[in-house]
Amino acid sequence: MPIAFISHADCLLHDVGYGHPERPARLSAIQDSVLSSAVGSVVEQHDAPMVERQHLERVHDPAHISRIIDMAPAEGVLHLDSDTAMMPKSLNAIMRSAGAVVYAVDLVMQTDTRTAFCSVRPPGHHAEHNRAMGFCYFNNIAVGAAHALEQHGLERVAIMDFDVHHGNGTEDIFLDEPRVFFGSSFQHPLYPGSGFDTVSPHIFNIPLAAGTSGVEFQQRVEERWLPALDQFRPQLIMISAGFDAHIEDNISHLELRETDYAWVTSKLKAIADKHAEGRIVSVLEGGYALSALGRSAVAHLEALIGN
């Protein structure tokens, strides 16, 4: 069955300057790798729409939404913090990145499409209820999950985050929402320094020490995530797909490879097939070593379609 590949040219136009790791070439690396691989023949390309404000307001403070929209500069670069900046074409990319996930949820809930990958930027999992940070402005995957709950009436949505950084924004938004199972694996200590001590019956974090290998990562996932996720019986699985824990990515010190991303994706797919009619929405987060990013995304997509 084809996989929906959702992106937009606007996401390539958000560019806050030379040397910033969250750069347009990330999407080009994924696109080129996918189209030159066998999986390229089974992806269906979709343009991401703009998100509607009502979708953002399900997870973000209205004042935060207005602040991001109103601060968008007409020229130059505006720094929200040392990592997070906006330029004139940033806002369209921000709005399409969140809109892509809402659209992806509608696809897997309302059509024969069962799997979607949102190849969008800027990422979102660090954006909290009322705060932009860590290259993130609105929390794309949280916007999509809230849409699944409120628009489609789901009672159990799982968000699984294997980015090398803790998904602090997603945790902040859903900390008191038991309808959302949240699992985040991440290097600790590392930015943003959160998640290692979270205690919650529906949040399952996996802090990993620098130097953690793929074998150790898989063991922790088997122990920490999979039994609890199976017991939760998600009606939809959403994936914050960050590929910056790859051994070639110098933003961190974990030692994952493409095979580890394929393995964890296949495990999540098995649970989606069992409980969620195979429905999975995956959303790009981090990943900054371009060759490793492209190869990892292909491995992820191959596992999503069952190859």
Buried b or exposed e, range 246-258, using 16+ CB within 10 angstroms: bbbbebbbbbbbb
Q: Which two tokens stand for residue 145?
A: 């999950």
Distances (CA, A) of 160 to 6, 9, 78: 19, 27, 32
Between vectors from CA 295 to CA 293 and to CA 301, what angle results, nearest 5°?
Answer: 100
Whole-number Cα distances in Å, 189 to 133, 166, 169, 207, 218: 18, 10, 17, 8, 19
How far is the C-alpha of 56 from the C-alpha of 65, rounded, in Å? 7
Which of 8, 14, 55, 126 is labelled catalytic? Answer: 126
Mark 91-126 as b/e (b = at least 16 C-beta within 10 Å): bbbbbbbbbbbbbbbbbbbeeebbbbbbbbbbbbbb
Report the C-alpha gap between 263 and 256 in whole angstroms. 11
Of 229, 221, 224, the closest CA to residue 272 belongs to: 229
Nearest residue to 286 via CA among 129, 82, 141, 104: 141
Q: CA–CA separation, 108 vs 121, rounded Å?
A: 21
Q: Is 126 a catalytic residue?
A: yes
Catalytic site positions: 126
